Structure 1
């Protein structure tokens, strides 16, 4: 979520359409009738109800330590 006073972020229409129309295989009518919350819930359903958390500070370092380039 953007911080107070920050610039608004455009809705990711291309990603939403790719999810709804290509991955979920919704008809255009179903896609355009769905709310963003419904689309997100359907996407989370593909992951078994799990949410994908964004990477946090230190994740790259831990991955590099666990899987070093040789």
Structure 2
């Protein structure tokens, strides 16, 4: 299960946004977020990637880095 409240998302999409069901199901999650006013997820920058690598290192997890 995805953890998303699909009935609520469908009500908003069909009722508030006035979408037809086929148009709702063709949307990507990012497109739906933008239409609902939540904005887009910012792109992953090199600095953010390096921050994540430091926070969640792969070393010692059975991976051969060399």
Greater length-normalized contact order (CA 8 Å, ≥ 6 residues apart)? 1
Q: TM-score normalized by structure 1?
A: 0.47
Tell me which structure has the larger Cα radius of gyration.
2
